[in-house]
């Protein structure tokens, strides 16, 4: 019975699942000018804008 419920969840909203595959989580290391320590900037962005996110300061 669990397999049937699991399958129903996967096939319920295929359009939303296909759209979710176009988004990605990007983590960028940013160095602090004061201390020199690294911090991390995280964002969930569209896969077409990854290069723009990584190139910005």
Q: Which distant-in-sequence residues (6+ apart) come within 8 Å of 27 by Cβ? A: 40, 41, 42
CA pair distance 44, 24, nearest whole angstrom:
5
Number of residues in the chain: 57
Mean pLDDT over each residue of the chain, to the nearest integer: 84
pTM for the full predicted model: 0.60
- Kindly report, residue by residue over 25-34, the tens digit of the pLDDT: 999 999 999 9
**Full DSSP string of 11-57:** HHTHHHHHHHTTEEEEEEEEE-TTT--EEEEEEEEEGGGHHHHHH--
């Amino acid at each position: 019975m669990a397999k049937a419920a699991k399958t129903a969840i996967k096939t319920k909203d295929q359009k939303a699942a296909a759209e979710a595959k176009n988004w990605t989580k990007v983590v960028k290391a940013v160095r602090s000018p004061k201390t020199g320590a690294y911090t991390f900037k995280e964002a969930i962005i569209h896969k077409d804008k990854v290069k723009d996110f990584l190139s910005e300061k």
